[in-house]
Amino acid sequence: MKLIVRQQMADKRFFLKITALLMALVYVSGCANLGQKEYLEGKTVFGEKAMVVSAHPEATRVGVEVLEKGGNAVDAMVAVHFALAVVYPAAGNLGGGGFMMYRQPNGEVVSLDFREKAPLAAYEEMYQDENGDIIDGLSLAGPMASGVPGSVDGMLKAHARYGTIPLKELLQPAYTLARSGFAITAKQANNYNRYRKTFIEHNRDSTDIPLVKLEGEWAEGDLLIQKDLAATIKRIQKAGRDGFYKGKTAELLVAEMKAGNGIIELEDMAKYTSKWREPITGQYRGATIYSMGPPSSGGIALMQLLKMSEHFPMGDLGFHTPETIHLMTEMERRVYADRAKHLGDADFWEVPQKALLDDQYIASRVKQINPNKATDSEEVLAMQLNHQESEETTHYSIVDANGHAVSVTTTINSGYGSKVFVSGAGFLMNNEMDDFSSKPGVPNVYGLLGGKANAIQPEKRMLSAMTPTIVEKDGKLKMVVGTPGGSTIITSVYQVVMNVLDHEMNMTDAVSSGRVHHQWKPNFIFPERDALDPAIKKALEKMGHQIKERGSIGRVDAILVGPDGKLEGAGDPRGDDWAAGF
């Protein structure tokens, strides 16, 4: 008996020794990997050559590794985009759309519109009942909420023109992350648990939803494996565009839509195409701003705000002083009123771009501003706008070793889009149709109102607020910036640009400091909770402003090029956002 016990103990010791040895080996190889790793990562990172900042550490690493092996910013963009579709399903996507700004070292800037389109069978009153009343939630959740996705076409189109590494290789990290899984963050675990019921409610088979755990709750560090998504990525690796817009993926997508009265057909998929667009460009305090034009409102609105700001010494007035916030509010009030009335997809609606950015028009708007008193929003313009957003779009910024810069904002609209996973294909569909104005005078989920300019028409793109932006100074790249946040996207980018150019902040401070938002209607200044001192709020109230504190605004992922050419990457502390560079 004793002998047996001793033998067992000896076995156990042997087992422990072997385990320790194996662990040591794993540790050493981990260190070796760390040794090989030539980039730094964190919330703030300084790099000599290249930088990636995105909403998830895994996606950032995928991007920086592409840059390390000599890929350019567009190669990294493709790898990051597909990786985000796997590791950040709330907003990273194959089933959504977005906008890309790209600056080459010679200073040429192009922009690509891969925004979703209304399906061919869409029509202006499609979300109204027989009495003309809006059917609650129809444009928001379920298959009818989706536009025809543009992300895959956009990524592949940009890659075909500018990429240097084969597509298959760039998609491999995303494939592996989906096939073998990755460890989710604490924020993600909470989120997936919170959305469990919603996902089950909106999907046909509750055992087939990647983000729903069959037993128990998600916890930080749990492995999320997405085999169907991996198979979809594989089809794109093999067949390119046709791996998504035709064949099995498209068939699965259309079947999913039809199962719930959705109207996206195979023809919609086959016809979808992203489009190169002229960037919106203008000057601000000696810097040149490049941002996205229609169907995004971002570029025009940002440029209007900056052009108005140039009439005032914003830097001297100081960061978050009552004077500065008052002026910003008054400008925003006017810009958002214009947005509601005049902006829509320029392929379908004549956007008066020149007039909106005209110096004299801007000066006339500035003249209306009383430096000491709030204007009543009702007096600014007849059309109403009222906007509350969730925070589930995502932005990433990339600079490569040769100075190419990419700024991409992409979305499936609200958190987890339409909440519908394409069964068998493993990805979420957008609920971007809600960005259209479903009926004049009736607000969408964010409280947005609109009119003809943004009414639904077949193949039209819904108006966006996404504002991927690139700033250049003295002919050199200065800043790459953007954020999620719905209507607050525009004012967040505006504030970060001003924080750097007027308030002389570094990028980390520019990104992390408090944000304040106004959008004409509802007539409130929305500061992030605790962003403004009580004395500042009091002073603003005295001028006639109403203030409503809210949760965090945006998640800015940005890169600043210092005077010495050094890159500062800043991932927003409000999220899991992460920078890496070398």
Instruction: Catalogue the active-site residues.
Output: 393
Structure tokens given for 573: 């502390």
Nearest by Cα to 454 from 345, 299, 296: 345
Residue for token digits 């977005």?
Answer: 98
* Site residues, ligand DON (CB under 6 A): 389-393, 411, 413-414, 432, 435, 464-466, 484-486, 489
How far is Cα 198 from Cα 215, in angstroms, rounded to an integer? Answer: 16
What is the closest distance, in whole angstroms, from the C-beta atom of residue 336 to ligand DON in the complex? 13
How far is Cα 408 from Cα 101, in angstroms, rounded to an integer? Answer: 6
Nearest by Cα to 493 from 513, 511, 514: 511
Structure tokens given for 401: 């070793």
Does 365 appear as a known binding residue?
no
Does 456 appear as a known binding residue?
no
User: Could you tell me if 118 and 147 are in contact, meaning their C-beta atoms sit under 8 angstroms apart?
Assistant: yes
What is the closest distance, in whole angstroms, from the C-beta atom of residue 437 to ligand DON in the complex? 13
Phi-psi region of 485 (alpha: psi -120 to 50; beta: other; left: phi over 0): left
User: Could you tell me if 333 and 380 are in contact, meaning their C-beta atoms sit under 8 angstroms apart?
Assistant: yes
DSSP secondary structure string for all residues of 55-87:
SSHHHHHHHHHHHHTT--HHHHHHHHHHHHHHH
Nearest by Cα to 356 from 286, 310, 306: 306
Nearest by Cα to 463 from 308, 262, 261, 299: 299
Beta strand ranges found along 312-460 (DSSP E): 393-399, 405-411
99 vs 290 by CB, closer to ligand DON: 99
* Distances 248 to 143, 243, 462 between C-alpha atoms, Å: 18, 7, 27
- CA triplet 496, 549, 292: central angle to 5 degrees? 35
Name the burial class of residue 40, with classes exposed (0-12), middle (13-18) and buried (19+) by CB atoms within 10 angstroms of its CB.
middle
515 vs 537 by CB, closer to ligand DON: 515
45 vs 466 by CB, closer to ligand DON: 466
User: Could you tell me if 53 and 397 are in contact, meaning their C-beta atoms sit under 8 angstroms apart?
Assistant: yes
What is the closest distance, in whole angstroms, from the C-beta atom of residue 41 to ligand DON in the complex? 24
256 vs 392 by CB, closer to ligand DON: 392
How far is Cα 12 from Cα 6, in angstroms, rounded to an integer? Answer: 10
What is the closest distance, in whole angstroms, from the C-beta atom of residue 414 to ligand DON in the complex? 6
252 vs 412 by CB, closer to ligand DON: 412
Structure tokens given for 545: 């402003």
What is the closest distance, in whole angstroms, from the C-beta atom of residue 411 to ligand DON in the complex? 5
457 vs 464 by CB, closer to ligand DON: 464
Does 115 appear as a known binding residue?
yes
What is the closest distance, in whole angstroms, from the C-beta atom of residue 412 to ligand DON in the complex? 8
Name every residue whose Cβ is closer than 8 Å to that of residue 519 and which is 6 or more positions away in sequence: 332, 333, 336, 385, 386, 387, 487, 488, 491
What is the closest distance, in whole angstroms, from the C-beta atom of residue 360 to ligand DON in the complex? 29
DSSP H helices in 421-566: 488-501, 507-512, 534-542
What is the closest distance, in whole angstroms, from the C-beta atom of residue 486 to ligand DON in the complex? 4
How far is Cα 282 from Cα 307, in angstroms, rounded to an integer? Answer: 8
* Distances 36 to 39, 41, 68, 312, 553 between C-alpha atoms, Å: 9, 14, 11, 50, 37
Nearest by Cα to 167 from 91, 116, 102, 233: 233
Does 325 appear as a known binding residue?
no
Helical (H) or strand (E) element with 245: helix 242-245
148 vs 580 by CB, closer to ligand DON: 148
321 vs 552 by CB, closer to ligand DON: 552
How far is Cα 287 from Cα 282, in angstroms, rounded to an integer? Answer: 8
What is the closest distance, in whole angstroms, from the C-beta atom of residue 384 to ligand DON in the complex? 17
Residues at the binding site for L-glutamate are 115, 411-413, 435, 486
Residues at the binding site are 115, 411-413, 435, 486
